[in-house]
Amino acid sequence: MDLRNGLRPLGSTPAEFEQDLLSNLYYRRGTTVESASAQDAYETLALTVRDRLAARRARTAAAHYETNPRWVYYLSAEYLLGPQLEQNLLYSGTTDLAPAALKALGFSPEEVEALDVEPGLGNGGLGRLAACLLDSLATLDIPAVGYGIRYDLGIFKQDFENGEQVEKPDDWTFQGDPWEFPAPDDWQTVGFYGYVGPEGWVPGEIVHGEPSHLLVPGYGTETVNIVRLWRARAAQASFDLRRFSAGQYAEAVQEAVKAENISKVLYPDDSTEMGRELRLKQQYFLVSCSLRDIIRRFRFRNSDWSDFPVKTVIQLNDTHPTLAIPELMRLLVDEEKLDWEQAWSLVRQTFAYTCHTLLPEALETWPVDMLGRLLPRHLEIIYRINAELLDEVRATFPDDLSRVRNLSLIQEEPQRRVRMANLAVTGTFKVNGVAELHSQLLTSTTFADFAALWPDKFTNVTNGVTPRRFVRLANPGLSALITEGLGSEDWLRDLSLLSGLAPLADDASFRARWRSEKRHAKSALGLGDPGAMLDVMIKRFHEYKRQQLKILHVITLYQRLQSAPGRFGVPRTVLFGGKAAPAYYAAKSIIKTINAVAAAVAADPKSSGLLRVVFPANYNVTLAEKIIPAADLSEQISMAGKEASGTGNMKLALNGALTIGTLDGANVEIRDRVGADNFFLFGLDAPAALSLRSGDYQPRSYYEADDELRAALDALSNGVFGGAGQEVAQSLLGRDEYLTLADYRSYIDKQDEVAAVWQNQERWTRMSILNTAGSGFFSSDRTVSDYLERIWRASPVRP
């Protein structure tokens, strides 16, 4: 049978689209035009668009089956996919058909589009990177599946009460999810607890994993891949009918609730002990379901285990899915009866690991006790892997106890814990950092001893972002201008073509149009004066990212308005966006302080027309797509050596924002590519920051030596911006962990330079165009190409 051509093609004319919409409204939504709500229209539109992608999906799957290719499997606890409707309209070529058909049936396209809910199944950069990589894998026609967890509740919704962050549940599937295909027949069984007897592991608790998938279309190609998300379901027998009949309703569902809690909520990376075991359960649940699914798929066309690493590469997105290493060992040794050596060799040829951090406190470890109770067999396997690792270490570095201690999978003090990063490095064939500087620091610090043991294992793959979502969809006006400037839309599939914009930076009429697109985007954001510089800091709240440095700048500007208006500079709107982990007290104090500063600035007539601070609640992908096109200035001001890469920095530069930043993460590469003249660099570099941090750093000496810094901190300390502001000041004048005060003067002076350049709008626009022109490297298509060349070694299959 010809698997590729068995389908009746779906129509692409307006009449056919409208007809499909209407019949879906009747036959699949079960309603009529007369009685349909906007929600009915939305769900029906989603189905109509999804059908077009599903037809391509069927052809893709058929081509994959015929080819029996090498597969890339991406394992990630997080995916921040962003809203699906607009993207799927674009990728299915129905962007114009859909609103026309909706109108013809009497619906408001704007009202319908506003019902599209973003699946917030991630925290920040790591989850969004996963989504960008899937987009690029499909666009490059690579056979790939993303595996993740279908959390009932995504990242919390942020609200402000009295300026304080409060968290509300994100019940994103409350109305159902029209983009999802449930596949209940592909369920898997996952065990927990129990004991290891002579017959092997006997789990004490069984949970089912039920998958569903979302379509991941490529842009400008036929390929449609999938992301498969697992949901925990209680085994059917767990409902206690006897108790229910006796009126014990809570007790009757107790077992089921416990099982289904595994996929109940995304962890907002908080540092509390509570619920840690549940998080470990989530990780094992993801890994166990996904590996069995991968093996099931392998068996469609293969039978020999030695082919497994030939046909399969599994990328671990940070350490969250690292239990996949002992789990595959268990499946191969205990269930498939391979010998240990062969299994270990297959495992080490299959997995690769991406590290996304430099912060020691962000490297996951699990108490040996907890892991051993939850997964007794896996702990045995980890111990054996460790014994063999340490034998190799002793053989390579005789009498070097400190290496043995550093490389061990088990941390001994103050508590015995399993080091997941060490396990990930040991069980994989490649380990990569996410920007040049990050990868260098990994091999020179975090993983220095591993790099000495296995130098060829380490590599870099600099992050990237998809230009389809973050330029084309987010910024249609600028995209049209770019297309006109370059003479084609090819840049959307080959972003290096943006370099062709560079000569246009010298064309005054092109500059005027560029400026006018920025102004349009700013007006669309609705922040008042589009002539004011829009200065944005959008990212998760963390002290290392230094939102507190940005507040000090705002306070200094505000104080200049009071006492030295001549030094103020230019009209600015400062925009903050981002969430703090619910248990991260210091980050929440920074949020509250920003809101207090915003209120004080707003209440003072002296700021009118000159300074505004805005902090829209609940920053997410949807909001990012509105803010990024409007931004003039991009704040990338982390302490050097702390931000692994950053990806918001790339999105903003691509949209023509100029960066003020430290030499951290991918900022270094952005500056190299857009040119030092078009980048506002300030602050200590990573070696200088490290040496200041490890010496006798005295934040007070900066406070005493700098009048403006002192005035800003005094205002905070004196409670001008509330109790939270006092806490921020106390932390800065105490330890100042991230060297905020050391970088303050350099930052303020650079901001004054920013203001001076802004006054010359022609010069600013020139720099803006050169930022976009120089940022083509930061496409996630290039990132995927690098992964393919350095790690994955898979080839395209075109449907």
Enumerate binding residues for ligand 26V (CB under 6 A). Answer: 124-126, 129, 269, 271, 318, 356-357, 359, 361-362, 434, 463, 542, 643-647, 665
The verdict on whether 693 is a catalytic residue reads: no
Q: Are 110 and 316 in contact (CB under 8 A)?
A: no
Q: What is the DSSP letter of 553?
A: H
Nearer to ligand 26V, 125 or 154 (CB): 125
Q: Which of 539, 542, 671, 750 is catalytic?
A: 539
Pairwise CA distance, residues 133 & 649, whole Å: 17
Burial class (CB in 10 A: 0-12, 13-18, 19+), 454: middle
Shortest separation between residue 12's beta carbon and ligand 26V, angstroms: 37
Asked, as a colleague might, if the bond just before 414 is cis with ω within 30 of 0, I would say yes
Least distance to ligand 26V, CB of residue 541, Å: 11
| Residues 96-100: contacts with CB under 8 Å, at least 24 apart | 97/12, 97/14, 97/17, 98/17, 98/45, 98/48, 98/49, 100/14, 100/17, 100/18
Q: Closest separation between CB of residue 270 and ligand 26V, Å?
A: 7
The one catalytic residue in 522, 545, 560, 782 is 545
Selection from 609, 604, 615, 614 nearest residue 558 by Cα:
604
Q: Which of 647, 740, 772, 783 is catalytic?
A: 647
Indicate the residue whose CB is closest to ligand 26V: 125
Minimum CB separation of residue 269 from ligand 26V in Å reads 5
| Token pair 């972002």 in the structure block, residue | 465
Tell me how far apart the alpha carbons of residues 238 and 234 are, in angstroms, rounded to a whole number: 6
Supply the minimum distance, in Å, between the C-beta of residue 645 and ligand 26V.
4
Please pick, among 50, 128, 403, 651, the residue that the annotation labels catalytic.
651
Q: Is 673 one of the catalytic residues?
A: no
Q: How many CB atoms lie within 10 A of CB 571?
A: 16
Q: Check if 647 is active-site.
A: yes
**Distances from the Cα of 184 to the Cαs of 150, 181, 759, in angstroms?**
13, 9, 60
Nearer to ligand 26V, 56 or 438 (CB): 438
Under 8 Å CB-to-CB from 585, ≥6 apart: which residues? none
Residue type, 689: A
Cβ neighbours for 630, distance < 8 A, ≥ 6 positions apart: 518, 521, 522, 524, 525, 527, 534
Closest approach, Cβ 545 to ligand 26V, in A, equals 9
Q: How far is it between the farthest Cα atoms of the chain?
A: 82
Q: Which is nearer to ligand 26V, 52 or 540 (CB)?
A: 540
Q: Which is nearer to ligand 26V, 223 or 357 (CB)?
A: 357
Which CB sits closer to ligand 26V, 158 or 780? 780
Q: Which residues contact 481 (CB under 8 A, 6 or more apart)?
A: 510, 513, 514, 517
State the minimum distance, in angstroms, from the CB of residue 540 to ligand 26V: 8
Q: Which of 150, 419, 469, 540 does the annotation list as catalytic? A: 540
Strand partners, 613: 574
281 noted as active-site residue: no
CB of 669 to ligand 26V, least distance (A): 12
Q: Which is nearer to ligand 26V, 419 or 572 (CB)?
A: 419
Q: Which is nearer to ligand 26V, 9 or 360 (CB)?
A: 360
Nearer to ligand 26V, 377 or 782 (CB): 782
Cα distance between residue 542 and residue 365, in whole Å: 21
Instruction: Please confirm, yes or no, whether 457 is among the known catalytic residues.
Output: no
Identify whether 430 is a catalytic site residue: no
Residues known to be catalytic: 356, 539-540, 545, 647, 651
